[in-house]
Chains A and B, each alone.
Chain A
Amino acid sequence: MEVGTTDDAESISGTAIRMRDLTKAFGHTQALAGLTLDVPRGEIFGFLGPNGAGKTTAVKLLLGLLRPTSGKAWVLGAPAGDLNARRRIGYLPELFRYQSWLHAHEVMELHCELARIPRRRWKDEIELALATVDLGERAKDRVGTFSKGMQQRLGLGVALLGRPELVFLDEPTSALDPVGRHDVRQIIRDLKKGGTAVFLNSHLLSEVEQVCDRVAVVDHGHVITSGRLEDVLGAAKAIRIHATGVNSETRKSLAQFGKVDREGDVMTIQGIDEAATPALIATLVAAGASIYAVEPRHQSLEDRFLELLSGD
């Protein structure tokens, strides 16, 4: 469901994030050049773009860390930066550090206090967050002794404190190993199950592809495309078929559906209209071929991303 495009109070409160013509200039450098975007509540939103596209600047504007040059933004129904709304937001910055002289548990206590979480809930909140990011056994160790990956896990745990309604994750897996990345994907999915919206900045497009409901691609401070992931990727543009008993005559007849590439018993029909798939299969069956698998091949997010950035 697309959120409303009007900016009345009801429409704004229905979105986790709303940006309208948001611009930000640093001197002569235009970091954001009129960003307009809606992020629905309870969904996982991938915010993509090349380095310097303005992704982190947008997040900082939404958190109230920077003031926009022009335009408006609302987060959880309140103007960006609103203190009460910030109580319901978690944030994992890309480049950050916690006080190296504090224990992991103390860092969490500090953030519980700063987030104004009632003291009686601290114990449960901290235990849950530490367990979620698998740092329960290092709770009493100083942050200064943590590896980069562990600091990132701790950052993610801190972002989860207080069961936020919206979590900003800026490159949350950049320092993690494959197991850690898998864990983070699961945490993100669990957040969604709990009704939390996730705003994910990541360069790891395969990761975004696996977890996000919606994506937006920004470049030079503009949104160049946004929408549901499958809409952004578009319809399947190729079909992969594993079949035996396909002679050269049959293969030639398949050219009417698209360009045929063959690798042993596997053929890829490039540029086929997805609606023509049943006719393709019928042609193969009529020619006496045995079909083992038919697999529509979508364009990967990475391919689509590169295509968008190159202006095709």
Chain B
Amino acid sequence: MAVWTIARLTFRETIRRRLLLALIGMTVLVMSLTAFGFYKLVTVGDNGNPMPVSEARLVTYPILILVGFMFSGVVALTAIMASAFSVSGDIDSGIMLAMLPRPLRRAEILLGKWLGLSLIMIAYTSATALIEVSIAQAITGFQTPHPFWLAAYMSGEGVVLVSLALLFSTRLPGLAGGIVGVVLFLMAWLGGVVGTIGQALNNSAVSQIGDISRVILPTDGLWRGGVYSLEPSTVISQGVGRGLQGNPFFAPSPPNSAYLLWVAIWVITITSLAAWSLSRRQI
């Protein structure tokens, strides 16, 4: 009950403070530019001749992966910064002190914020991913192989980072928590890249760096699931043969179910830790 009250309050805050409006405005701008780019790609080919449909489809997917990479960054920054200031901001301003004496547990406040922020990230990320691949399909004819998995993996990234930044927010000032969150996100991505290079070189020690970083912070593992969702099956089979494993924008396989289970456990653990941390904090 109180969890849902706080979740609705969190959602209303993102609207009233124009965070959602700013995000949607910038997203529409990026989508318009990519739509224009796709249009020019298929209408202006070599020597001014339109690009053949089969060729256009082939070049669309890597562009979509790059666009997805950019959106992955947008999702990460939004999730981290919105969450990192969420609890710490309320504590610093005195908003928390006005709410805490009410008959609700601190864990309910934390879970309410987690739910509100997670739902916002899921809604935004899913809508953005599905609209973007639809735009690409409408203009170039490229059909994303697993659009809903793409939305799910990228939303998962958002939820993972909401959980992590909320944990930091219970103990660190918003800016400090946000910076730590961004650095960890980038380190996890870099760890994943190093791991793929290790795989390509058949160097198990280097390869393990990627595996470990994907366990500690599962954003890169989910990002690679998103990459896999965009790749046509022919590209995957040819890519493996041509040694594309070292390419950070290539994923030969999706995350397995054990890994997805780990992601769920990770989110539950970190969110529980955040609730515990808030309940122990002197306010």
Binding site for B on A (CB under 8 A): 26, 60, 63-66, 83-84, 86-87, 89, 91, 93, 95-99, 101-102, 110-111, 113-116, 155, 158, 168
Q: Is B146 an interface residue when CB atoms closer than 8 A count as contact?
A: no
The CA of A26 and the CA of B283, in the complex, are separated in Å by 12
Give residues 1-54 of B contacting A (CB, 8 Å): 1-2, 5, 9, 13, 16-17
Contacting pair A114 B102 (CB below 8 A):
yes
List residues of chain B with CB within 8 A of the CB of A89. 101
Apart from A86-B101, A99-B95: 18 A-B pairs, beta carbons within 8 A: A26-B282, A63-B101, A65-B100, A66-B283, A83-B104, A83-B105, A89-B101, A93-B97, A96-B97, A97-B93, A97-B98, A98-B98, A111-B102, A113-B5, A114-B2, A114-B102, A115-B103, A116-B103
The CA of A66 and the CA of B1, in the complex, are separated in Å by 24
Given known A-B contacts A26-B282, A101-B17, A114 and B99 have beta carbons under 8 A apart: yes
Give residues 93-122 of B contacting A (CB, 8 Å): 93-95, 97-105
The CA of A237 and the CA of B283, in the complex, are separated in Å by 44
> What is the 8 Å Cβ interface bit string for chain B, positions 176-208, against chain A (1 contact, 0 not)?
000000000000000000000000000000000
Task: List 5 interface pairs A-B (beta carbons < 8 Å), by A numbering.
Answer: A86-B102, A97-B94, A97-B98, A98-B95, A155-B98
List residues of chain A with CB within 8 A of the CB of B104. 83, 114
List residues of chain B with CB within 8 A of the CB of A113. 5
List residues of chain B with CB within 8 A of the CB of A93. 94, 97-98
List residues of chain A with CB within 8 A of the CB of B282. 26, 66
The distance from the CB of B228 to the nearest CB of chain A, in whole angstroms, is 40
Shortest Cβ distance from B5 into A: residue = A113
Contacting pair B103 A83 (CB below 8 A):
yes
Shortest Cβ distance from B105 into A: residue = A83
The CA of A84 and the CA of B103, in the complex, are separated in Å by 7
The CA of A281 and the CA of B97, in the complex, are separated in Å by 57
Taking a contact as CB atoms closer than 8 A, the residue among B97, B101, B105 that contacts A95 in the complex is B97
Shortest Cβ distance from A90 into B: residue = B101
